[in-house]
Chains A and B, each alone.
With several copies, the nearest count.
Chain A
């Protein structure tokens, strides 16, 4: 019996009892079980709680945004990343553990969980080199066919570890000098972003080894207008917003990435009002509605991590702002879902990362109206979608 049905039974029982307080049979003993998850739904999101102040105990809350309810948890380690199998049959936590919690031997693994029962079902050890950072999207990712998990390393030399999900084996390491992160752009291809504003495209063979590397022309100037390092990805198209409020679209589909001419997210008046993007996960795309969302605040230079007060909605085809959504609580990361209707999900760390009082707020993307919230999400930084 599901929780919901049982609650209903109890409620009905309670209503009956008010009428006839002593007439009914006593409640039967409960039968304790472990619940299982249904199929991953389109309105689900995965909220990565970095686990501050400890940082060694990350967790992912699985959230049904329709009901604003936590459905379960994937437990992690030191500054873990989360990966979802494209066919939704497995969840992965990319973890670093020390044998004695905060001391001892470091071990990095991809931990594998069954997506229904959330049971731990195995681990793949990878070189103990993974990028340790306040968790960002795309430090770990998976190819669209689910064959290979790509894990960003930094020692500080940069590389990508490749894990074969079927064989549950570490395949090898691919050097990506000067370039970071792994944006999956094909079943046998991923991209990294480089210090000079270019994109490195790496082609894989069927065993997951590098078989080709191409560096694109710089698509932005990091010295003049740095882009945020957590773009919105739709298929093999990446949308990067920048410190100064420009939008850089990059086509990652080919062997060489191609940046389009950037366009400005802000008008002269906005600029005068000091509006600019900022936060953690600052940009999102909702492809069905064809809209781009950017988390905005008013601030001076170097306020790129200031909490956002509004989310600006752009028609991607027209490259025009169509809406401003004022946030009830200042936000740090945004994401778009579209189960029954397009929705905006906003993560908020509240007053302090130390207090573990992070929450999720949901807005109707069409009306811009606040719909509800889910609190007690620890120190949530990143939202992943199915």
Chain B
């Protein structure tokens, strides 16, 4: 898991020019030495019911039941003019995020999902979705979904929430 987080951090760092900032983020939030990072083996997957009946909205990215949203917390960008991993016009993807693991309903794979806030517009206020699979208290900030995850964005003003696949859990 630490490797995945590291990859993610790297991937994010490649996408942004704020490298020095992110190096710091990495050290502070993600790196922190000997601390076990994710209680990953106890993550309850959204689609444990995959073999049986699937929730109605599991393939609908405007539904809180959408498979990628297993640990999303906020107003869904898909209801605000954005996509499941696209910010609405006028909002900027945060270079930082908390992470979760969601099982795809059909391929059965566990995907690492980065929950990146879109920042720089007033709160969207539509489709509030608060799911808590794998979500941890504030002292494990990188897994806390209640934080405004706009660190490194031009502003800390929260607009809406996305879910971006960053890889498959190995």
A-side interface residues toward B, CB under 8 Å? 2-3, 6-7, 10-11, 13-14, 17-18, 21-22, 24, 26-37, 49, 52-57, 59, 62, 70-76, 78-79, 96, 98, 101-103, 106, 113, 116-120, 131-134, 136, 154-158, 177-181, 193-196, 222-224, 226-229, 300-305, 352-354, 356, 376-378
Contact = CB atoms under 8 A, between A and B. Distances in A.
Q: How large is the interface on B (under 10, 10 to 19, 20 to 34, 35 or more residues)?
A: 35 or more
Contacts of A37: 81, 89
B157 A102 contact: yes
A98 B157 contact: yes
Contacts of B39: 222-224, 226
A27 B111 contact: yes
A303 B35 contact: no
B83 A132 contact: no
A158 B90 contact: no
B165 A33 contact: no
User: Which label, helix, strand, loop or mixed, suits the secondary structure of the B interface?
Assistant: loop
B137 A378 contact: no
Interface in B112-140: 116, 118, 120-128, 130, 132-140
B13 interface: no
Contacts of B88: 34-35, 72-73, 118
A376 B125 contact: yes
User: Which label, helix, strand, loop or mixed, suits the secondary structure of the A interface?
Assistant: loop
A36 B79 contact: no
B24 A157 contact: yes
Given A30-B85, A181-B138, 9 more contacts: A17-B107, A27-B111, A34-B82, A70-B80, A98-B155, A106-B156, A136-B138, A195-B139, A222-B139
Nearest to A240: B137
A10 B135 CA distance: 26
Contacts of B90: 34, 72-75, 113, 117-120
Interface in B23-61: 24-25, 28-29, 32, 34-36, 39, 42-44, 59-61
